[in-house]
Amino acid sequence: MPPNNTVIATSLPVEEIPVTVKAPKFDTSYRTLWGSFKTPLIWINIIGIFSVHLIAMMGFITFPYFTHKLTVLWCNASFGGFGVTAGAHRLWSHKSYKATVPLRLILLMCYAMAGQNRLYEWVRDHRVHHKFSETDADPHNANRGFFFAHVGWLMMRKHPEVLRKGKQVDCSDLFEDPLVVAFEKKIQPVENFMVSIVAMGEGWHNYHHTFPWDYKAAELGNYKVNATTFLLDMFAKIGWAYDLKSPSDKLIQQTVENNGDGTHCKQ
């Protein structure tokens, strides 16, 4: 896939298109930035984010009952990460597979461990991010800098376009779950091998923006750099995850030929 590539591959053979996908197609008509916008800081969020990390670090260092601190840290990070990558992202945002009640409960508990926004807000923001990627309507617009795209957007008021476009994105499917109720040359997302290792397989960003409904969220790599896919495949073997969606090699190749910039490589 092109390293700087952005239209979701849906205008292709019907048999390749999963009908349950809710994430909207990228809106190519909304591309221009609306100029500079001075966003007011939300100090309670800034203090809260800083305090949570500070208290966690102090507890990790000082509490005596953590006899194997690195193991505890790794487990907490892995469980929370799995709740975000396999749950909020691949299941609820993109509907790239289906999960039984036990697995959805596990995913919800793991997501809660991650300490992020309410699930509905996460899904809504992510779908807006896909539809209006790298514009003022993108909640974590990368054009506003690395820090803003990763943490800063949580510390300040949202751009008016984020609020306006967020109301237009359909998230009604979330309310159908009783547990929840209680590749393009035009886009900027890129592939990053190291990010994929740290983020449990979420580093193949260009591919993901082209095929957001692929449960693997990646074409390249293996279980070593995509731990989320390993866990989903494991749950699929016992029937807890099912109807896993993934594009065929033919569809990927067709998309590369139609939209790629010539830099695509295979494993």
Is the entire prediction scored with pTM above 0.85? no
Nearest 10 degrees: CA dihedral of 247, 253, 255, 261?
140
**DSSP codes, 114-130:** HT-S-HHHHHHHHHHHH
| β-bridge partners, 156 | 41
Q: Are 103 and 240 in contact (CB under 8 A)?
A: yes
For the stretch 157-208, pLDDT in tens is: 888 889 899 888 888 888 788 777 653 344 455 555 556 665 666 666 677 7
For the stretch 103-161, pLDDT in tens is: 998 999 999 888 888 888 999 999 999 999 888 889 998 888 889 888 899 999 888 88
The gap from C-alpha 48 to its chain's centroid, in whole angstroms, comes to 23
Q: Which of 166, 108, 106 has the alpha carbon at shortest distance from 137?
A: 166
Q: Which of 99, 52, 51 has the alpha carbon at shortest distance from 76?
A: 52
- What six digits make up the tokens of 34? 């609306």
The DSSP bridge pattern shows strands 241-242 and 98-99 to be antiparallel
- What six digits make up the tokens of 238? 């016992």
For the stretch 36-72, pLDDT in tens is: 566 788 999 999 999 988 988 887 777 766 667 777 7
